[in-house]
């Protein structure tokens, strides 16, 4: 994708983007500390949505890694990708953002649909309910009974990069 962005931009053109970053949907209580755009410390681990999906699939004899579409890089990882596409990273940083959702079941079916693709239709509700239950039990996703909302721990990776001069100019 970054090679295509590079080809579309003029020299000095800016690429500005936001995507999921390291720690996205990892768990509300994972105490992800972000300092100077780097992941510094995980105090304790709580199973998040992704891990709950992986666990539920493994339990059923499926390979979750082969189905996992999510890429949540650290700033350093993404800066290396930018440089490999002849882009100059100007700013790459992580920003935690707790995000409310009314329906965790629906969120899993929408954003985690690749995990569910080869699961029999009649087995999907049970698997999704298991993931929701795991998230609730672990505290990874906070359920606010009064507001009737789930809160997921989104971590956004914000990117500003500039197209470097092409080497063949």
Looking at per-residue confidence, does 34 or 112 come out higher?
112
pLDDT band with cut points at 50, 70 and 90 for residue 23: confident
pTM of the model: 0.80
Across the range 111-140, mean pLDDT stands at: 92
Across the range 109-138, mean pLDDT stands at: 93
Place of tokens 């009974």: 145
Residues paired with 42 in a beta bridge: 32
pLDDT band with cut points at 50, 70 and 90 for residue 143: confident
**Is residue 58 predicted with pLDDT exceeding 50?**
yes
């Amino acid at each position: 994708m970054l090679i295509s962005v590079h080809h579309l931009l003029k020299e000095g053109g800016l690429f500005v983007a936001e995507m999921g970053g390291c720690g996205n949907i990892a768990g509300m209580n994972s105490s992800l500390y972000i300092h100077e755009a780097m992941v510094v410390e995980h105090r304790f681990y709580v199973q998040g949505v992704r891990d709950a999906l992986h666990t539920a699939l493994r339990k059923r004899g499926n390979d979750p890694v082969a189905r996992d579409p999510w890429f949540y890089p650290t700033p350093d990882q993404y800066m290396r990708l930018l440089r490999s596409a002849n882009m100059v990273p100007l700013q790459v940083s992580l920003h935690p953002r707790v995000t409310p959702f009314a329906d965790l079941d629906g969120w899993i079916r929408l954003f985690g649909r690749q995990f569910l693709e080869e699961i029999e239709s009649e087995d999907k509700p049970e698997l999704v309910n298991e993931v929701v239950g795991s998230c609730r039990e672990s505290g990874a996703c906070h359920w606010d009974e009064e507001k009737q909302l789930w809160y997921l721990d989104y971590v956004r990776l914000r990117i500003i990069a500039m197209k470097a001069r092409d080497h063949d100019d």
